[in-house]
Amino acid sequence: MKDLKVPKQYTIKKTPKETLENWYRLMKIGRALDEKAPNYLKQAIGWSYHAPYAGHDGIQLAIGQNFEQKKDHLYMYYRDMLTALAGGMTSEEIILNGISKATDPSSGGRHMSNHLAKPEWNMHSVSSATGNHTLHAVGTARAIKYYGEKAVSISSQGESSVSEGYVYEAITGADKEELPVIFVVQDNGYGISVPKKDQTAQRKVANNFSGYKNLRIIHCNGKDVFDSMNAMAEAKRYAIEESKPVLLQANCVRMGSHSNSDDHLLYRSDSERNYVVEYDPLAKYRRLLLRYERFAEEELNKIDEEVKLEIKASHKAAMAAPDPDPASIYDHVFSDPFVSEKYPEGLHNEEGEKTKFITALNETLKAEFRHNPDTFIWGQDMANKDKGGIFNVSKGMQAEFGEKRVFNGPIAEDFILGTANGMSRYDKKIRVVVEGAEFADYFWPAMEQYVDTSHDLWRSNGKFSPNVTIRLASGGYIGGGMYHSQNIEGSLAAIPGVRIVYPSFADDAAGLLRTSMRSEGLTMFMEPKALYQDPKAATVVPDDFEVPFGKARVRREGSDLTIITYGNTTHLSLDAAKKLAEEGIADVEVVDLRSLIPLDEETILNSIKKTNKVLVVHEDKVFGGFGGELSALINEKGFEYLDAPIKRVGSPFTPVGFNRILEQAILPNKERIYTAAKELIEY
């Protein structure tokens, strides 16, 4: 349904001639590049992925022209070439991206072609997972609103992406929080070959959201420059002035195939293909310019010639640009960590009263919120009166820091993490802490955002670091069964770009949390929830304690065997070591890793050099657990020091049972560690 309240600010008759000329030039440059891109592939130069935008010209011009660099925030999808040009990128920059050069402003050749970005202008780097950036746009809009800026966050995407659950999470969240976001849905009728009738019952997917309270839905003709400009200008005005979201559905046609790996001849009829070409927005725009005598044919022909020359020059310059250096692959995997000057090894000798693990976390969170006013926390059950976090780790925070910095998230884990990513894009001074899920077991829906966020620094060639700490209550020993006992660090550790820490004691928990919250980058902070209240995990905690990443801690020194462990099993290992010592069997060294990534290889190898035997212990399953990596590392780098095979203790390859009898049969305990250690000693 047409929104008749959209003012006709732009018309063929009244728009200034220089504006019309600028639009025509941009559209011609865009189309020239769109048509030239496949030639680079044919010549084996590059640009192996190209999703042509022809047929989306009106709306893409409008998005770009309504985007204000360094003020608004723009998330483009892989078909948004004209959006990028209309937003200020040059033809040379587009080609640099297409042929993946080191000077490509989007990613330095690291990300797929056609994924355009210029983070320094707030044209953000996005993933290939369609619609995934919708959540980021919402998070950025949350920051825009918090800091009171008169700006807008724009998420541009195809209509099929709206089938993704996280897009619904994003739009629902923006509606609930009343955020200045424009979701632009460029509807060309297809998700690759899947027609939109196979995606959703409504022919216009925007109408699926007609019941939303604060969302304004605007439809426009994305093939028409003026209708698109008017719709986009009104969407922006509304989003900023009303501080509410807009869903702008732009009807487009896809004049070509989905991409150069697709062939639309296989599924589109001749008449349909003829129809979409007939509705070419660029040809229409040119006809209008001539029909209403705003330009003479000679004037347009002159621009056409100038565009040809520009493209030629851009091609030449881009071809001469350097390729990425293979030695650079390790650059920007991890962001810069906070460096502790006072506690470089993450050790202290403070004496005094012991603090529980949960109290150490709570007090550190509060201290860091006082230290940095641009720190935020949200998650499920985060704050409601006296409730503060599912386990009350954040108790009292909302009362002290207010509901704009400490607030509940919906039961939507992907939203929780995705908006954290988006909010941190607003300004690098921002630090976000999220309770990623009620329990680590429920983090899986957020995995697509986890993977995406892990890529951000590398993908943007160092231009964007998501400064986010994810807290997860992890592990078992609470009688929680298979959905309240999971250890997921083995799976997470397989993904580069995230630091993973897993403390066992209150002081290390405080020190690692402080370091996480002061560092740049993404940190997964795993909390063994069985230790929250456990006196064994309580320690003296210096007020300003800091534990650097990648520094293990020898919790018990010994000479006969090294146990490498972390989390809950640190305590079980210490108990087993104590028993072995008391029985006069062995003097066991217990190394608490504290950080899984980065890993303190030096402490591990130094210990093995001394003891010549090693037992790897963790709560997670032996098969596929992180201990497999530890064993492989020791085998590669410490084999010569060993007098016995590496042994592992962990859970069997089963879920965790609910009945305590089953739980005990599955999770590692002191006796199993003791037995395995004894076998190694006797080997």
Partner 1 sequence: MSKTAIIYSYNTQKSKKVAEKIIAAFGEKEIEAVNAEELNKEVLNKYDNFILSAPTWFDGELPNYWDEFVPDLEEMDLKRKSLPFSDWEIRKDTPRIFAMP
Min CB(31)–partner 1 separation in Å:
17
Match 């948004």 to its residue by tokens.
Answer: 80
Q: How do strand 190-191 and strand 73-75 relate by DSSP bridges?
A: unpaired
146 counts as binding partner 1 under rule CB under 8 A: no
User: For the chain, give me the number of helices (H) and strands (E)?
Assistant: 21, 20
Shortest distance, position 19 Cβ to partner 1, whole Å: 16
Tokens 């670091």, residue located: 465
By CB under 8 A, tell whether 13 contacts partner 1. yes
Residue with Cβ nearer partner 1 (292 or 623): 292
At its nearest, how many Å lie between partner 1 and the CB of residue 302?
23
Strand order in the sheet with 614-621: 553-556, 588-592, 561-565, 614-621, 647-651
Check residue 9 for interaction with partner 1 (CB under 8 A): no
Strand duo 153-158 + 190-191: pairing: unpaired
Distance CA 58, CA 286 (A): 12
Contact window for partner 1 (CB under 8 A) among 23-31, 285-293, 568-576, 591-599: 285-293
Which of the ranges 11-19, 129-137, 298-306, 326-334 carries the binding residues for partner 1, by CB under 8 A? Answer: 11-19
CB of 292 to partner 1, least distance (A): 6
Nearest in space to 65 (alpha carbons), one of 11, 20, 110: 20
Secondary structure string (H, E, C) spanning 79-99: CCHHHHHHCCCCHHHHHHHHC
Smaller CB distance to partner 1: residue 275 or 483?
A: 275
Instruction: With beta carbons less than 8 A apart as the criterion, state whether 317 and 41 touch.
Output: no
Check binding of 269 to partner 1 (CB under 8 A). no
**Annotated catalytic sites, by residue?**
484
Nearest CA-CA partner of 72 in 85, 87, 57: 87
Kindly report whether the peptide bond that precedes residue 598 is cis, defined as omega within 30 degrees of 0.
Answer: yes
Q: Is 267 in the site for partner 1 (CB under 8 A)?
A: no
Of residues 7, 16, 75, the one with CA closest to residue 232: 7
Nearer to partner 1, 133 or 286 (CB): 286
Q: Report the nearest approach of partner 1 to the CB of residue 275 (Å).
A: 6
> Minimum distance between the CB of residue 200 and partner 1, rounded to whole angstroms?
12
- Under the criterion CB under 8 A, does residue 291 sit at the interface with partner 1? yes
Shortest distance in whole angstroms from residue 63 CB to partner 1: 19
Binding-residue total with partner 1 (CB under 8 A): 21
Q: Which listed range, 112-120, 274-282, 317-325, 562-570, lies at the site for partner 1 (CB under 8 A)?
A: 274-282
**12 is a site residue for partner 1 (CB under 8 A):** yes
**Does residue 60 belong to the site contacting partner 1 (CB under 8 A)?**
no
Q: 286: which residues sit within 8 A by CB, 6+ positions away?
A: 24, 300
- Site map for partner 1, 501-540, x if CB under 8 A? ----------------------------------------
- Amino acid (one-letter) located at 639: F
Q: 366 and 397 in contact (C-beta within 8 Å)?
A: yes
- Contacts to partner 1 from residues 212-231, by CB under 8 A: 221, 223-224
Q: How far apart are CA 165 and CA 569, in angstroms?
A: 37
Q: Of 599, 598, 572, 479, nearest to 529 (Cα)? A: 479
Q: Which is nearer to partner 1, 125 or 221 (CB)?
A: 221
Residue in 292, 483, 623, 683 binding partner 1, rule: CB under 8 A: 292
Name, in order, each residue with C-beta under 8 angstroms of 211's C-beta and a sequence gap of 6 or more. none
Q: Compute CA distances 286 → 12, 60, 303, 304, whole Å.
A: 11, 17, 12, 11
Min separation Cβ 15 and partner 1, Å = 11
Can you tell me which of 66, 243, 251, 486 binds partner 1, judged by CB under 8 A?
251
Give whichever of 285 and 545 is closer to partner 1, judged by the CB atom: 285
Helix (H) or strand (E) run with residue 601 in it: helix 601-611
First to last CA, the chain: 79
Q: Does 297 bind partner 1 (CB under 8 A)?
A: no
Binding mask 173-212 for partner 1 (x = CB under 8 A): --------------x-x------------xxx--------
Return residues touching partner 1 (CB under 8 A): 11-13, 187, 189, 202-204, 221, 223-224, 251, 253, 275, 278-279, 284, 287-288, 291-292
